[in-house]
Amino acid sequence: MISYSFPPIKGIGSIRNYNIAQQFQKHFDVKILSTKNRFKLPTEEINVKHLSIKYLATLDYKTVKGKTHLKEERSTFQKKTKNISFARKLTESFPFNLLFGEGGLLYVLHGLLVSVKLYKKGYEVIYSSFRPMADHYIAYLSKKFHKKRLWIADFRDLPYYDAKEGVYLFPKFQMYLLKKIISKADYVITISEGLKTFFDSYNNNVIVLRNGISKLNIQELSKLMSDKFKITYTGSFYGSKRNPGLLFKAIANLVEKSIVNPDNLNLIYAGKDADVWKKHANTYSLKTAIINEGMITTKAAQKLQENTHINVLLSWATKNQKGILTGKFYEYLNAQKQLLVIINGEEDREFETIVNDLNIGQVFYNSEMNKIENFIFEKYKEWEATGDVSVETNKEKLNSYTWDEQFKDFLKKINQD
């Protein structure tokens, strides 16, 4: 496994790679290649002692910036597309991303050397993750050396969301190169049917391996008896793609109608974009209701998600790109609390199907302000009457979203080929 993003490095991508490693280890002898930048980047405590990990020499922009990179990446995402910095375009575009982008040339060369040695020791399957592209560069070159090696290329995210975003220098060349690399993988795996549609034009063998939830956590959760009605969002906003404005406006409308008391509200946020949460709270005169937890561990975030009445998920969809089922979505499923999904853009039937099948909340769109208000008010009234908000999750369906079940289906699809 070639996984730059791997615990103890903090991030939802690291968690996906960690869970896949856990599953692979049930069937294979697994060796993981990750980055020595783990000493320089934000981390959290996850036990990896039971895994065999080789840390690759790395010299990239994160090696230099270290923990300060988070603040800079956040400001980059919050800029309008047309203002994407030249420096970011360099780090996203070949050959510059190979030289000093995430991973960098030293990481790629060291990874290739180790990969070749591992093949001689019998490691015949190679898994690489995105992001960064450096992981796929190593796998692509390794496949060149050993054509019989089976290569699984994972994309938990799209390389780009829209060509118009302008994230590349010489975009047509970058698209050509991307297609050439991805086409050489034996399998491409991604997180949803919506994203699969995107990758189908790059590779003939695209398989959906969604993020999963832990089987150990599928249990009856205790009631939350609280003197505050809690609405929680944990995660980032990525500029205008995820906009909490609709949520705050809906709540403000309920307050203005005097059917919701702002003194009874806790609008809880955890993540690196607390200033965005605060800005919207100020805009809608709800600043006394907000609680900003800041950057916290995954375990602490999960605790917040379990101790709330409504978890909010903000996503987006375009005509060509749907099914952006983030790792955060599965954390929310694991919490088994009422889920309020607001999608910015086109209808996303995949999202709707999962939420409806699990009976865990509702999906709304930008044009459905009244429906969002009604959903929040309905749950608020229940809290006023009982002190809690009930949710009758379909446990049988929820079990099919565990990592064990997801991976079992994934292996069946590979074996059928």
Q: Which domains does the chain have, with CATH numbers?
A: 12-212+404-416 (3.40.50.2000), 215-397 (3.40.50.2000)
d(C-alpha 90, C-alpha 100), whole Å: 9
The set of long-range contacts for 115-121, using a CB threshold of 8 Å and a minimum separation of 24, is 115/2, 115/33, 115/139, 115/142, 116/142, 116/145, 116/146, 118/31, 119/145, 119/146, 119/149
Question: Between vectors from CA 166 to CA 104 and to CA 180, what angle results, nearest 5°?
Answer: 55
Q: What is the pLDDT of residue 95?
A: 87
Name residue 116's amino acid.
V
Cβ neighbours, 10 Å, residue 241: 16
User: CA nearest 33: which of 127, 147, 124, 106?
Assistant: 127
- For each of the chain's 417 residues, which pLDDT tens digit applies? 999 999 999 888 899 999 999 999 999 999 999 999 988 888 888 889 999 999 999 998 888 876 554 444 433 333 333 445 777 788 888 888 888 888 999 999 999 999 999 999 999 999 999 989 999 999 999 999 999 999 999 999 887 654 445 677 788 888 888 899 999 999 999 999 989 988 998 999 999 999 988 766 655 666 677 889 999 999 888 766 678 889 999 999 999 999 999 999 999 999 888 999 999 999 999 999 999 999 888 889 989 999 999 999 998 888 777 888 878 888 899 889 999 999 988 899 999 999 999 999 999 998 899 999 999 999 999 999 998 999 988 988 898 899 999 999 999 888 765
pTM assigned to the model: 0.84
98 SS3 class: helix
Q: What is the pLDDT of residue 223?
A: 67
* Helical (H) or strand (E) element with 365: strand 361-365
Q: What is the pLDDT of residue 125?
A: 94
Q: What is the pLDDT of residue 220?
A: 60
d(C-alpha 307, C-alpha 299), whole Å: 13
d(C-alpha 260, C-alpha 253), whole Å: 9
Q: What is the pLDDT of residue 240?
A: 63
Our CA dihedral for 358, 361, 365, 367, rounded to 10 degrees, sits at 140
Q: What is the pLDDT of residue 270?
A: 94
Name residue 302's amino acid.
Q
Q: What is the pLDDT of residue 165?
A: 55
The answer to whether the CB of 294 falls within 8 A of the CB of 270 is: yes
Bridge partners, 230 (sequence order): 266
